[in-house]
Amino acid sequence: MPQVMEFKLPDLGEGLTEAEIVRWLVAVGDVVAIDQPVVEVETAKAMVEVPCPYGGVVTARFGEEGQELPVGAPLITVAVGAEALPEAPAAEAEGSGNVPRPLIGYGTDHSRPARRRRVRPVTAEVSAPTAAPVTVPVPVPAAAPAAAGPAGPVPVISPLVRKLAKDHGVDLRALRGSGPEGLILRADVEAALSALRAPEPVAAPAASVAQGERIPLKGVRGAVAEKLSRSRREIPDATCWVDADATELMAARAAMNAAGGPKISVLALLARICTAALARYPELNSTVDLEAKEIVRLPAVHLGFAAQTERGLMVPVVRDAQSRNPESLSAEFARLTELARAGKLTPADLTGGTFTLNNYGVFGVDGSTPIINHPEAAMLGVGRIIPKPWVHGGELAVRQVVQLSLTFDHRVCDGGTAGGFLRYVADCVESPAVLLRSL
């Protein structure tokens, strides 16, 4: 008798309590190998594929695409054992035991390609799982003879597909399978059911059109909304700003890049200036512990930076930025940005920041009033660097000018400290030698 194993949504780490099903990678009736990814989920931090620690026949799936499940909720059930896997070695039906927490990176061997096979008719009966899945649980029944039509046997292997069609009155002989050699899959039957149930299109009344499009506030967008709302609720923030002549900074960058070696980005130079400024004004590299009623000054600068992606705004974190030189900062910014755009950032890459640098100048704007990235105490915003009239050396000249803005938590410091921090940053931008003297 096959044994039915229930695989639950594992702890995804970093305090995450739920995940949204983005895409199922297996269907009921599929044969899965140990540590084969079975579902792709999206958390508030990242998109990950979840591998199953059991090998066998998928007997039930829990949840539909777009549905959110809490950690610990059932994902799938798998019938394991030699009876359930007529073509697979018995050892493959055993659990791998490799489901550590956090989820990111677990698995036995991801170098081998994931195998996905359709199960042949199974003679053993499998008891249904105790928890009811969102989709109808379908036990593995005894093999039934294939129905035959005028053109010969219907190309169906899975008894589950046959039962689904029978229960809903779908004529398998009228379907064209999308599987190998015309094999009818569960997806083909479900598509036929959807076509039968689809309502006739009707013109929407004018009133409903006026209501506008509704977009679910969940996933990354929902996490950003919650963090920004919490920031506004809890932090009494204030913003100060100043224009700075960045001509010398841009000239210094050009000279550094002309010398050969790894290219240095403007963001990396600004980051290096920030870490030097935070060493002078450590009040801004802190957080507020409301329960203890204490301000906690943090020893290391874990620098977050805003990165716009197709999935929304991400804030990857550069660890120990205070100990990095411009070359190291440039390389780390590039690495994290590439991961962000590919949707491969892990929760660890997106948490633990102590100060955020937001370069909104890439959007072609001059200024902004940033919202603090809770629970941090400050954020530096940088506008675009453009030629502007500027008094330089007592004469009017065209210089490369940038607007710098600092939003800070008024609980951790007063305006004098915030102004001193921003002025030091501006002085370093206008004269990079100021930074060299402070190192």
Write out pLDDT tens, residues 180-200: 777 788 788 888 887 776 665
pLDDT at 300: 97
> Which letter, b or e, does each residue of 29-51 get, where b requires 16 or more Cβ atoms within 10 Å of its Cβ?
bbbbbbbbbbbbbbbbbbbbbbb
User: What residue type is assigned to position 246 of the chain?
Assistant: A
Residues 308 and 409 in one domain: yes
Q: Does a structural domain hold residue 72?
A: yes
Of the three residues 140, 161, 183, the one that is the final residue of a domain is 140
User: Domains in the chain: how many in total?
Assistant: 3
> Which letter, b or e, does each residue of 424-438 get, where b requires 16 or more Cβ atoms within 10 Å of its Cβ?
bbbbbbbebebbeee
Spatial CB neighbours of 196, under 8 Å, sequence gap ≥ 6 = 170
Please, are residues 297 and 326 in contact by the beta-carbon 8 Å criterion? no
The CATH code of the domain that includes 276 is 3.30.559.10
Residues 177 and 307 in one domain: no
Q: Read out DSSP for 196-223?
A: HHPPPP-PPPHHHHHT-------HHHHH
pLDDT at 347: 82
Q: Does a structural domain hold residue 384?
A: yes
| φ, ψ at 263 (rounded to 5°) | -70, 145
Q: Does a structural domain hold residue 386?
A: yes
pLDDT at 139: 42
Q: Which of 310, 292, 313, 284 lies closest to 376 in space, CA to CA?
A: 284
- pLDDT over 60 at 398, yes or no: yes
**Catalytic (active-site) positions:** 410, 414
Domain that holds residue 274: 236-438
| φ, ψ at 426 (rounded to 5°) | -65, -40
Give the integer Cα–Cα distance in Å for 68 and 18: 7
CB count within 10 Å of CB 58 equals 25
Residues 153 and 133 in one domain: no
Report the DSSP pairing between strands 148-149 and 152-153: antiparallel
Q: Does a structural domain hold residue 230?
A: no
Residues 265 and 413 in one domain: yes
User: 208 versus 420: which is more confidently predicted?
Assistant: 420
Residues 134 and 184 in one domain: no
Residues 116 and 131 in one domain: yes
What is residue 337's DSSP assignment? H
Which among 84-93, 124-133, 203-212, 218-227 has the top mean pLDDT? 218-227
Q: Does a structural domain hold residue 349?
A: yes
pTM, entire model: 0.60
Of the three residues 116, 140, 164, the one that is the final residue of a domain is 140
